[in-house]
Structure 1
């Protein structure tokens, strides 16, 4: 049995009836899992075909292979949200494993054809099908509700064989090409995902957001900026969802874009401001994981938003986005009682102080209240919040030392009270954590002594054994 196109027949005609049957089965949820006969026939056709002769004589085979791959990818896709009750997840995983076996057969035959046709001819014929095969591999290659160990193994094997046949050393190279001038398949993959990445349909396929984000992470500088119009709208769309999981995923996509797209491209068409406002709105949500992702992204976005400006001494320096974000953070920190949020805010506070430098004096009054309040509260065995607040205090003293002497009494009282609390602490905090707190407090007292002309004296041989406040 040989798969050949008769003279006068359309290219790839032997696939037509099977593709029509598979497509009809894909539209009928109850019959979707019953498409084994068509899959078996397709597998038999692929195995029996004389691929070297077919690829040499029939120029339309490449498009037919692309159609085959797209149809198989659609067949193996997880059930849409509205069709989730049509069958159990196990049957979807079994279906994906069977589709993966057919794709493996196709890739093996194409790899074997390289011996007589050469790699270039086979890769050109496989190019229309490669993006769909890649989407199948990413959809089922990771642990998801719609996958199983068998389907994951098959999908990973399909991806490895796809990379080998296409001559790619890695997934990033497969997507972006070997060099900046040689186009990869990232644009083709995004074009296939585009119909499912709009406001009305992006949640229909539960795998779409994972395919998009995982693919996005594989492409970095200097290639990513060429696809900015394709990747920025979906990332903003996912981050604007009401579900916290989707918000975090979208923010991480935006962060990857900020890190890997030149600042000039982000400033163009006011994109950076759009990103800033989208991220800033998330700071009002009381979700620690989301707040952490947003603050990390904002800290990398500030250099794009705040261009270096020449400051004229008689004029006050204008405030920027970093000031606005720090002001909002301090507003949220002061009354916050939930430990996870307190730790998240405290963890990021030193980075904002380091970013603003001497301009932190604008927020010194609010920072003083926050620092005193956080030093008073036990934060659990690891004492993460108090340790990071002490780190923030050290940075404040270093950057804002001319304004510290007038606040010396306030900071000394807060530090000494914390030291007494730690010394009397009978909780489960390890001794190493207590030692770290005492060492950080000693460092703060030493800095206070330096910037106050010796009004505080601290023994450096053994932390906090002796101190004098004149």
Structure 2
């Protein structure tokens, strides 16, 4: 690109730099109406600027490495859901970024070293060597390092940089991680260990993307596998925040993926870490300290099948906690405010628990059947036949089917008794037993 065209490009990109006030958007939404109005006007005006940029790039001009890096680092923040984006601006941004869908490692390195590292280096993570991306034997800065690290977080005045890190991680190949590790992991850990739940959520989402391609050996050699595990499980203690349900739904699968990637199958390490996620994270933290927050409990139940199936039969040690928690939302009782979605999630989790813990589930068949039957009768009594109700009924049937496979004797005992009591009512529920036809 010649100097004149380069100057035009730079001018266009400068107009797209996201105002720092967007970082405060949620906090000032009701207290600073004038600032919000200014930001909203800017957000609308940017649509024309993005359109101009797309037109400039469509002329197939040859951009230098640094120009490509600047385009990507400027446009990546528009490829997502954020206070500064609109559906229309997001669509244009995605069109522009599609031009760089398969970036060379050298381009990613330039973006990270020029547009990301300078922003985060003022708040270096105390547990990482910023030159190598390896874990330090002890925190840099001594015992108060973490407190110091939380002060003067200048990177938060660059609200779009989080999305640049995310874009780079999503486009980093497995082979490129070795070269880029020292540039990728410091900002990722800074986000993941931030004290604000919203930034932690960004960090978890980026880690989830990273775990799809990062080499397991690299995580182990640098010691970051343990650091990531601690940070992800710590997310399960960040309760009583608006982001808590989303944080739980993201952190649990990410932690499980990390364990399955870095801990050998059948090893004590894998078993212990999965137990920590389920026993200490979900049961010991969320279910103990967020009992009145149904959305957080529901989010944890959504993640249960993933953890239970990873832990396999080892999950039987938690049946005493799992079954009562999963059965409670199914029962009509005072204090039970479970939504149909929560009930459906509980049924899906219950089916997973029955399948995995089949050798010991016979001890809990009575409690499970009691909960499923109460829900089944309640649904029948309402007389409603909408999609949600049909889905719940189908899930109830699925639980009964799983219970039959785990405990075949229920066909001639519990299921047979139900059919004797009211075949029309319970026949469809236990149809898989062969008694309901």
TM-score of the aligned structures, taking structure 2 as reference length: 0.70
Per mean C-alpha deviation after superposition, the further-off stretch among 432-441 and 324-333 is 432-441
> How far did 1:353 drift?
1.6
SS of the residue corresponding to residue 203 of structure 1 reads helix
Distance 1:134 1:456, change over 3 A: same
Give the conservation status (yes or no) of the 8 Å contact 1:225–1:260: no
Q: Distance in 2 between matches of 1:349 and 1:192?
A: 41
Q: In the alignment, what sits opposite 1:208?
A: 161
Please name the residue that 1:462 is paired with.
Answer: 428
Are the equivalent residues in 2 in contact too, given 1:221–1:260 (CA < 8 A)?
Answer: yes
Does 2:114 match 1:188?
A: no
The structure having more radius of gyration, on CA atoms, is 1
Equivalent of 1:80, from 7, 13, 20? 20
Asked whether the 8 Å contact 1:381–1:428 carries over to 2, the reply is no
2:390 aligned residue: 432
Deviations 1:281-310 (A, max 9, x none): 110123111111111211211213431246
Query: Contact between 2:191 and 2:202, CA under 8 Å: does it hold in 1?
Result: yes
Distance 1:149 1:432 in 2: 34
Q: Which segments of 5 or more consecutive residues in structure 1 lack a partner in the other structure?
A: 1-11, 13-44, 48-64, 112-121, 161-168, 178-182, 312-316
Within 5 Å, give how 1:43-54 maps onto structure 2. Answer: 46=4
User: In the TM superposition, what are the counterparts of 1:37-116 in structure 2 within 5 Å?
Assistant: 46=4, 73=13, 76-81=16-21, 88-89=38-39, 90=41, 108=59, 111=61
Residues 220 and 426 (structure 1), Cα distance of their counterparts in 2 relative to 1, 3 Å cut: farther
Q: 1:260 aligns with which of 184, 209, 213?
A: 213
Residue 391 (structure 1) aligns with: 348
1:442 equivalent in alignment to 2:400: yes
Aligned to 2:204: 251
Corresponding residue of 2:306: 351
Segments of 5+ residues of structure 2 without an aligned counterpart are 25-34, 124-152, 420-425
Change (3 A) 1:274 1:206: same
Query: 1:96-138 CA deviation, whole Å, 9 max, x = no partner?
Result: 9669858966985x83xxxxxxxxxx56xx2333212332333
| Deviation string, structure 1 residues 40-72 (Cα, Å, up to 9, x no partner) | xxxxx727xxxxxxxxxxxxxxxxx6x996787
Look up the match of 1:376.
331
- 1:4 corresponds to which residue? none
Q: Which whole-Å deviations, capped at 9, do the CAs of 1:434-459 have from their partners, x for residues lacking one? A: 43244134324423541669543456
1:197 aligns with 2:197: no
How many residues align structurally?
A: 374
Give the C-alpha shift of residue 327 in structure 1: 1.0
Deviation of 1:355 (Å): 1.1
* 1:74-116 alpha-carbon deviations (Å, 9 max, x no partner): 565233349997x9444687589669858966985x83xxxxx
Paired residue secondary structure (1:282): helix
Asked whether the 8 Å contact 2:245–2:296 carries over to 1, the reply is yes
Q: CA RMSD in A?
A: 4.3
Separation in 2, partners of 1:207, 1:139: 5
Displacement of 1:391: 3.1
Q: What whole-Å deviation, never above 9, does each CA across 1:361-403 have from its counterpart, x for those lacking one?
A: 2112222332332332588897233333333333333333332
Which structure carries more relative contact order (alpha carbon 8 Å, separation 6+)?
2
Residue 419 to residue 188, structure 1, CA distance change in 2 (3 Å) = same
Structure 1 residue 322 displacement after superposition = 0.8
**Which residue does the alignment assign to 2:245?**
288
The answer to whether the 8 A contact 2:188-2:206 is kept is: yes
How far apart are residue 230 of structure 1 and its match?
1.1
CA–CA distance in structure 2, aligned partners of residues 445 and 156 of structure 1? 47
Which of 340, 344, 364 is the matching residue for 1:407?
Answer: 364
Distance 1:310 1:321, change over 3 A: closer
Q: State the TM-score, normalizing by the size of structure 1.
A: 0.65
Q: Deviations over 1:204-262 (max 9, x none)?
A: 22222222223332334343453222111111212233433322111101111122101
The match for 2:71 among 123, 133, 149 is: 133
